[in-house]
Structure 1
Amino acid sequence: MTQLIFLPGASGSTDFWAPLAIKLQDYPDQKIVAYPAFANEPAHDDVQDFSSLSRYVLDHIQDECIIIAQSMGGIFAVQAALEKPEKVKGLVLIATSGGIDMTAFQVEDWRTAYQQHYLNYPDWFSTVKLDYAAQLENIRQPVLQLWGDADLISPVAVGEFLQQQLASSSLHVVAGGDHLFASSHADICAVHISAFLKQF
């Protein structure tokens, strides 16, 4: 059975995925990737910046998998789909930027609050500037997009833009969902993801 790989957002919290992962028990081969130096995870000598963190995350993709990524974790998901298409069979992108330039959208400035809240965290997520918009058309894998209609950090308009760029994607909007809805609204997310996974 295809492995599910969960990628957290900038908080690095692996616990974030617990409510959703347990509702996907029909897929027992699950891996939640922890980011070194985030959320009480020990630092790693080979991870010193965003680029090396990207390599660290992609090194965890060794088998055929579906990647389920929230927020900034979506950057790694997009990178993996582009660099390891033979391994990454599909993506579930949740409330993410997907590695595009967000300045064109009416988004809340999360980076300042993030730096103030996570004082002991590396600043790699809050300072990185990437734009994969021109490469999104090269992602041929099926993509499920889940967005919350109350998300100020990644509004639905971002999901709509990504859907236009991706070759094979579907977008579902979760009513009342803020940026962390994948955890707080795990029931409805599990319904959409389970339906998506049936094609693999």
Structure 2
Amino acid sequence: MLEQRVPNFLREDSEALLFLPGAGGDTTMWKPVSDGLSHRGRRRFFSWPGLGGAAADPAVRGMSDLVERVVNEITGPVVLFAQSMGGLIALRAAMARPERVRAMVLSVTSGGIDVRALGAVDWRPQFEQRNPGAPRWFLDARDDLSPRLHEISTSVLLLWGDADPISPVAVGRRLAELLPRAELIVVPGGTHDLVSERAGEVSPHIERHLARALKSPAG
């Protein structure tokens, strides 16, 4: 009797899926996408201390501490999903654990490169006004990873909407140029809440991306 081979991304013991929110810390942002994916790996939805209703943690003092939290969760093969400024953390985590990050999905990333030079509206003043007691990690972050993005050899899916002033399509195009294995998908009319508002449209692209990126066994 022939053994039936199950695609790697459908195995119960396959890659963990780590979902990172943006600066607002909205842990529900990725759930509509997660619910629709066939990948059977365990899900982990991150929160950021002091943001989005999560309790503050005095041990977390900056972006590097948030990156360390994510990196510490990468104990085996993973797929990283990141929204907006969460993309900065995902990119840094992928650089720290290149052998374990098997694929990435970045939605409307607004950090890691000079987005203002690409026409992005600065979201920080309005965010600070609405969240006066929020930690300043994302507000003060100005990391320019451009010189190092060529180091990320994993396959990256970039999801953008063409109606997003915070992270315009030009940002996605620039990341697609800098990342060696990146594909850019632009959703007409998509806003900064693309993955929650248009989950049904972006999910097939994510399924195709994971099927292609995860077809070979993890290292």
Normalised TM-score (structure 2)? 0.87
Relative to structure 1, the CA distance from residue 50 to residue 42 in structure 2 (aligned partners, 3 Å threshold; closer, same or farther) is same
Q: Over alpha carbons, which structure has the higher Rg?
A: 2
How many pairs does the alignment contain?
200
2:60 is the counterpart of 1:47: yes
Q: 2:94 matched to which residue of 1? A: 81
Q: 1:59 matched to which residue of 2? A: 72
Q: 1:189 matched to which residue of 2? A: 202
CA offsets 1:144-180 (integer angstroms, 9 cap, x no match): 1110010100100111011111111111101110111
- RMSD of aligned Cα (Å): 1.3
Match of 2:50 among 37, 41, 45: 37
Structure 2 unpaired stretches of 5+? 1-13, 215-219
> CA contact under 8 A between 1:4 and 1:27: conserved in structure 2?
no
> CA contact under 8 A between 2:111 and 2:142: conserved in structure 1?
no
Partners of 1:5 and 1:135 in 2: CA distance:
22
SS at match of 2:30: helix
Partners of 1:78 and 1:115 in 2: CA distance:
24
Moved over 6 A (4+): none
**Paired residue type of 1:167:** P
Partners of 1:105 and 1:35 in 2: CA distance:
27
> Residues 1-200 of structure 1 correspond to what in structure 2 (within 5 A)?
1-199=14-212, 200=214
Partners of 2:84 and 2:57 in 1: CA distance:
23
Partners of 1:10 and 1:119 in 2: CA distance:
13
Percent identical across equivalent pairs?
38
Normalised TM-score (structure 1)? 0.95
Deviates more, 1:52-61 or 1:126-135: 52-61
Partners of 2:43 and 2:125 in 1: CA distance:
33
Partners of 2:39 and 2:177 in 1: CA distance:
31
Deviates more, 1:129-138 or 1:97-106: 97-106
SS at match of 1:100: coil
